[in-house]
A and B are shown apart, each in its own frame.
Chain A
């Protein structure tokens, strides 16, 4: 499985866009990029995933570079409730029994 690298922490002003980067330079052609977040003391929350096209849902947008070596999760209008640890995970869809491997993630602090 491809290794991912994320900055350990980031700050964002409330109401501004939060752009969270993830490097996955060894990603292979059949690996998807998944994003989760974990708000303190809660269960992880699925946000979005993609293969090579940009994706958008009601929570966020996922931008994957053309060479697929990196991606950015965008929270368009961050609120205080978006303060959480964000995890970028690369997996082959349907493989390995659904085991999610959470790395260290990025701790996003949204400030008033």
Chain B
């Protein structure tokens, strides 16, 4: 099993550009999550999807949109990137809806100039 995969690994955007971060899991997990981690800080939840077809806002949803394409895939879109969105983005999944035994991907390092 590949576990949780994320693409791309690195990305540099200019202010105002848009992009979509992709996440996929092959563990047949029900729930998926997007977090961001700023330098020296803990993780903050952006959005989560408890099950296929549902999404909910987390702690810091402004400036982001998500799509739970199917059970395997959960994408995060930045419509108009801002320097404040420079961060490392982690996708995670869990078997249980809202479960805390979560499995994380390797992260996407995004820089917005």
Contact = CB atoms under 8 A, between A and B. Distances in A.
Interface of A: 32, 34, 41-46, 49, 89, 91, 93-104
A43 B56 contact: no
Contacts of B45: 97-100
A45 B104 contact: yes
Contact of B101 (A41, A42, A49, A102): A49
B42 interface: yes
A97 B58 contact: yes
Contacts, number: 65
B76 interface: no
Interface of B: 4, 31, 33, 35, 42-43, 45, 48, 50, 56, 58-59, 90, 92, 94, 96-107
B101 A96 contact: no
**From B35, B92, B99, B102, residue with most partner A Cβ within 10 Å:** B102
A35 to B, nearest CB: 11
Contact of A100 (B56, B102, B105, B107): B102
Contact of B31 (A44, A93, A98): A98
